Amino acid sequence: MNVLSSSFVEHGRELKQRAWHVFLSLGISFATCFFFRQEILHRMMLPLLEQEGANRFIYTKLPEAFIIYLKISLVVACLLSLPVFLYHLGIFLLPGLYLFEAKKLGGLVLGAVGLMWAGMTFTHQCLVPTAW
């Protein structure tokens, strides 16, 4: 698609196509995470399971276990599909940026994703066990 002569409708079509790619990656990630839901929940609970007296979950309502599995799967799927979202957002916005802005976009996206994962790892390994 020629960026300089693209109409508003063509930009809308491109945005729609990129949104479908993002939602498809989110759906595939969610299905995969829901398939491995028990392993993911166990991995998330390892710091808490090492504490005294916290060896299992207590569910107070009937659908609560299923809802927790859905929420955990959705959150992990969103985190896994975040790089796909950022890639498509960057590629969509790239033609409208100046050259010096476009050069900084890649480092900004990689830095944001890396710092997000580093923060989540620090929280999971250091803060959660000491706070519980």
Alpha carbon 66 to chain centroid, angstroms? 21
State pTM to two decimals.
0.79
- What pLDDT shows up at residue 54? 64
The segments of the chain whose pLDDT lies below 50 read: none
| pLDDT recorded at residue 55 | 67
Compute CA distances 28 → 32, 86, 118, whole Å: 6, 17, 24
pLDDT at 5: 64
Phi-psi region of 42 (alpha: psi -120 to 50; beta: other; left: phi over 0): alpha
- In contact, 69 and 37? CB cutoff 8 Å: yes
